[in-house]
Amino acid sequence: MKTASAVMFDLDDTLFDYTHSRHSAFMALKNKYPELSGTTLGELDRLWTLYWRQLVPSETISHHSGILYMRRERIRLILSGFGVPLAGKDLDYAVKTYTDSYEESMRPVPGCLEVLNELRSKNIPIGVITNNPRDGQEQKLRGCGIDGYVSVLVASGDLGYSKPDPRIFQYTVNKMGVSLKNSIMVGDTLEADILGAMRSGMKSIWLNRFGKSIPEGYEDVKEINSYFPIHRFMDYLNI
């Protein structure tokens, strides 16, 4: 067996701790609006996902402005549902409350920096494949202090197609000058990251930090709950 010639990562909740930042932003809203005080982060997560599915367009989002619009609308819908109808400057204030906390709390997923340093020490190139517009994702990489590790950032907004479409994986390895069979994809989302990699002919590692159950058909997937211990993750790079 040999070590993978390149490693591709998803970004949100794989390198960037999106859940931590989102929950920090929810807590900021809960502190500002007493009407939210009795609800849980789990319920806010559920509503956040529900409204995302209602608002997300069928076409690939190409600019961060689309993400910001959906953030604004979801905050409006959530607060309205708890009896806080907002518009204009009042809604602007709520969005700023969320956004300030979200950005100030940006951090890498625990163990991420150690893994990236280990890969760099072994001269293994690092790519990122993300189903979001480039401008917002570059901000996250900078906010986490990991932009300098990434050789190639492939954003669905640039291409017009997204994970799990096999084309985005093929595009990435072509851009990095490596092959699918000698590369590994690491991600937290089974359908987009793991199934997409499998369909393209790439090996994968599922980062399952939140203890999700593995469905039928994924039994052979390499699964980790944390990047620690680092040596175990590195062992999984053998293909």
Cα gap 27→20, rounded to integer Å: 11
Task: Indicate if the alpha-carbon torsion angle 28, 33, 38, 39 is positive or negative.
Answer: negative
Is the bond preceding 229 in cis, omega lying within 30 degrees of 0? yes
Among 164, 159, 223, 157, which Cα is nearest to 192's?
164
Q: pLDDT tens digits, residue range 183-235?
A: 999 999 999 999 999 999 999 999 999 999 988 877 778 999 999 999 999 99
DSSP conformational letter for 7: E
Q: pLDDT tens digits, residue range 50-80?
A: 999 999 887 778 889 999 999 999 999 999 9
DSSP conformational letter for 226: S
- Residue 108 has a pLDDT of 98
pLDDT, mean over the chain: 95
Q: How many CA atoms lie within 13 A of 171 on its CB side?
A: 20
* H or E, element range at 154: strand 152-155
pTM of the model: 0.95
Cα gap 67→26, rounded to integer Å: 17
Enter the tokens of residue 114.
């150690």
Q: For 94-120, what is the mean pLDDT?
A: 98
DSSP conformational letter for 190: I
Assign 128 to helix, strand or coil.
strand
User: In whole angstroms, what separates CA 129 from the centre of its chain?
Assistant: 9
- Residue 239 has a pLDDT of 64
Q: pLDDT tens digits, residue range 124-137?
A: 999 999 999 999 99
Q: Provide the Cα torsion 35, 93, 41, 145; round to 10°.
A: -160
